[in-house]
Amino acid sequence: MLSMITKSPEETARIGLMLGSFLRAGDIVCLQGELGAGKTCFAKGVARGMGIEGPVTSPTFTLVNEYHGELTLYHLDVYRLNGSDDMDDLGYEEFFYGDGVTLVEWAERVREVLPEERLDIFIDRGTEGDECREIRIIPCGDRYRLLVEELMAVVCSRN
């Protein structure tokens, strides 16, 4: 597990950016954390790290936003879904088992359909002030353990 504290939205986005630069086709990133935790902020960084330019907005109402860079990014917000039946309607298999990268906000709401191998990220408000967040990154499966090792190397060497 990789655990860190950020002290600003920019810092959270920068962790996302570093992660984004290591993502590959088929990767799945599951973000969990309450409203306003910083999931979308993190996701914006991920998109930048994947080389996606232009505005990245919250898919709260659209459910899924699709961005085309070198890789495709499917950015889902499943807050409004009622479990896995709604995920079926959304056609989630195209995202999870396709050639793009999938990033899911509120992943805990659709736990039943999440692939076992994935990267789980928990974002929580810290105790040191309004702009403080604890980010915990937990790999499930070999691919994601490698990813976390790569990420850890750059996070630990950042100034």
CA distance 79 to 70: 28
Q: Which is nearer to ligand ADP, 21 or 58 (CB)?
A: 58
CA distance 93 to 54: 26
Contacting ligand ADP within 31-90 (CB under 6 A): 33, 35-41, 58
CA distance 79 to 86: 11
Q: Which is nearer to ligand ADP, 46 or 87 (CB)?
A: 46
In whole angstroms, how close is the CB of 100 to ligand ADP at the nearest point?
20
Q: How far is CA 149 from the centre of its chain?
A: 17
Q: Which is nearer to Mg ion, 58 or 84 (CB)?
A: 58
28 binds, among ligand ADP, Mg ion, none (CB under 5 to 8 A by kind): none
Is 109 one of the binding residues for ligand ADP (CB under 6 A)? no
Is 107 one of the binding residues for ligand ADP (CB under 6 A)? no
Which strands sit side by side in the sheet containing 64-68, from one edge to the other?
2-6, 133-140, 118-125, 28-32, 101-105, 72-77, 64-68
Site residues (vs Mg ion, CB under 5 A): 39-40, 58, 105
